[in-house]
Amino acid sequence: MRTLTVTTLAAAGLLCLAPDAGATRAGSHLTVTGQASQLRPVVGAVETVRWTVTNTGDGHLDHVRLTASVPASWTVKDGPGCTHAGSYLRCELGGLDAGHRVSVNVPMVVHRPLGAVQLRASATGSVGRLSVPGPETAFQVFVVARR
């Protein structure tokens, strides 16, 4: 599998003003990486994109979610356990301990247009009732008619 990996880091040192939530919630960090099975997929082929969310902070995150784009006219082949809503997949990944990661493989049938197609994803999580905004990352594959 040829891969292109792009990493984006978002750090959130959050101050919580809710009386029952404690003072500062620091150390919650997420990264999102994406890998394509083919950097030059052929129309009609199956392109599998692996999105990986990693908790690089020092605390547990609850309700980690991944939102990944589905390029226009591409078809998700097998449901990876995510909800398909329009041009996005929304994946509930659950809790994620510090230093751990979780991946989702998204197989899609490649359709036109030919040329560069951007794939993007973002992640969020929560600490208690506080939302921890995560990063967004993107990379491109180049769709070709044939090899």
Indicate the pTM of the whole model.
0.79
Place of tokens 């394509």: 36
Beta bridge partners, 143, equal 115
For the record, the structure tokens of 120 come out as 């993007």
pLDDT by residue for the chain (147 residues), tens only, comes to 443 333 333 333 322 223 333 323 445 689 999 999 999 999 999 999 999 999 998 999 999 999 999 998 899 987 678 998 889 999 999 999 999 999 999 999 999 889 999 999 999 999 888 888 888 999 999 999 987
3-state secondary structure 49-108: EEEEEEECCCCCEEEEEEEEECCCCCEECCCCCCEEECCEEEEEEEEECCCCEEEEEEEE
How many CA atoms lie within 13 Å of 120's alpha carbon, on the beta-carbon side? 11
Quote the Cα angle for 66-72-76, to 5°.
55
